[in-house]
Amino acid sequence: QVQLVESGGGLVQAGGSLRLSCAASGRTFSSSAMGWFRQAPGQEREFVAAISWNSGMTFYADSVKGRFTISRDNAKNTVYLQMNSLKPEDTAVYYCAAAPPGVIFTRTRYDYWGQGTQVTVSS
């Protein structure tokens, strides 16, 4: 079955960096957009970043623009989120998501989700 497994979360001080990884399996994801979302305690899940099937397009939430970078390696079926200059308000569970096959770029049409990885930024 399709699986998305995130890793790389942890505890970091404000101003620090983390790199999240999402390993996909169960089908080929090279024709699908991939994205990252996050959910803080007591809040709804929110969009963070998206990348097109061939890495030609990326899109970021205003809150992370200039600090986070999404990338992917289709040969490894893996998507990454490099997070720099982290702030306490970035604390959340971060989720990887995959769009259906053929949806090459989207901010909303995701049908597969990982289990999430916790990112905690201390002040």
pLDDT over 90 at 27, yes or no: no
pLDDT digits (tens, 9 = 90+) for 51-72: 999 988 999 999 999 999 999 9
**pLDDT value at position 1?**
80
Return the residue matching tokens 């970035």.
90
pLDDT over 90 at 122, yes or no: yes
**pLDDT value at position 2?**
84
